[in-house]
């Protein structure tokens, strides 16, 4: 018997199959944790949100639809839970996102084998310095595009913004990185980041 596809797992999960539920959890737990860790260093908070997310979808499974992209759906719900918890809002209040009123910390590195010693640490340092000058929202968009390889449409969904806004955020972020990195061979990295994100 062929391995069930994710939509098939989703259907079994909605029908109350515990194995399918575990499959979904195992598929996304590490990714969600990694994503969540960029918002907060409070590991327990992130774990709690993962827990609440899965307990929540299990409880509501009969009323859930069939999301086109399960990953987006889970990331989006997870992000929402995280914000709600982090801002300690009461359950029934709808979180209204204020511009960049949150943190999103990423750190980039270049593998040792590629660039050696001093040069490597210089490259890494400058790249991270440039990244740190972006807004949280821009960093998050870059992360979702570059690391999670989401499309602009998907980024818009997860971050709860318009598709147009997701293009705009990214263009600003990349423009900034390019400008700030263009003076030495860091341009290589900025351009590669740029292209990797755009194609």
Partner 1 sequence: MKKQISAYETYTLAELINDQDFLLWVLHPDEKSDLHWQNIENDYPQLKDPIHQAKAIVLTMRFEKDDLEKKEQDEIWNTIQAKTTLLTTPVRKLWYRYAAAAVLAGALLGIGILYQNNQPIAIKTPYGQLKTITLPDGSLVTLNANSKIKYDKDWNKNEIREVWIEGEAFLKVKHLHTSGKIADRERFVVHTGDVNVEVLGTSFNVNDRRGRTEVALLEGKISLGLNGATGKPLILSPGDIAEFDHGKLIKKPINVAEYASWKDGRLYFKAVPLAKIFNYVEDIYGYKVVVDDPEILKKTISGSLSTQNEQVLFKALGMTLNLNITPNQDTKELMITTK
Tell me which of 3, 96, 98, 111 binds partner 1, using CB under 8 A: 111
Report how far residue 77's alpha carbon sits from residue 47's, in angstroms, rounded to the nearest whole number: 14
CA-based end-to-end distance of the chain? 36
For position 21 contacting partner 1 by CB under 8 A, the verdict is yes
Tokens coding 197: 């994100």
Q: How many CB atoms lie within 10 A of CB 48?
A: 15
Report how far residue 133's alpha carbon sits from residue 123's, in angstroms, rounded to the nearest whole number: 16
Handedness of CA 98, 99, 105, 109 (dihedral sign): positive
CB of 162 to partner 1, least distance (A): 25
For position 118 contacting partner 1 by CB under 8 A, the verdict is no
Number of residues that bind partner 1 (CB under 8 A): 45
Half-sphere exposure in the Cβ direction for 177 (13 Å, CA): 26
Which 46-105 residues touch partner 1, going by CB under 8 A? 47, 50-51, 54-55, 58-60, 63, 90-92
For position 199 contacting partner 1 by CB under 8 A, the verdict is yes
For position 193 contacting partner 1 by CB under 8 A, the verdict is yes
Residues near partner 1 (CB under 8 A) are 16, 21-22, 25-26, 29-30, 33-34, 37-38, 47, 50-51, 54-55, 58-60, 63, 90-92, 106-111, 113-115, 143, 146-147, 185, 187-189, 191-193, 195-196, 199
């Amino acid at each position: 018997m062929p391995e069930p596809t994710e939509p098939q797992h989703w259907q079994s999960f909605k029908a109350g199959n515990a194995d399918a539920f575990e499959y979904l959890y195992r598929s996304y737990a590490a990714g969600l944790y990694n994503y969540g860790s960029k918002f907060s260093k409070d590991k327990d908070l992130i774990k709690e949100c993962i827990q609440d997310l899965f307990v929540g979808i299990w409880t509501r499974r009969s009323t859930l639809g069939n999301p086109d992209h399960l990953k987006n759906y889970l990331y989006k719900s997870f992000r929402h839970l995280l914000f709600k918890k982090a801002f300690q809002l009461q359950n029934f209040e709808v979180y209204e996102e204020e511009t960049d009123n949150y943190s999103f910390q990423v750190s980039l590195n270049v593998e040792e084998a590629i660039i050696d010693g001093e040069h490597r640490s210089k490259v890494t340092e400058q790249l991270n310095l440039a990244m740190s000058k972006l807004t949280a929202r821009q960093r998050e968009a870059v992360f979702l595009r570059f690391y999670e390889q989401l499309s602009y449409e998907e980024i818009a969904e997860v971050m709860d913004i318009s598709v147009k806004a997701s293009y705009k955020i990214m263009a600003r972020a990349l423009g900034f990185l390019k400008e700030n990195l263009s003076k030495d061979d860091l341009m290589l990295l900025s351009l590669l980041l740029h292209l990797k994100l755009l194609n």
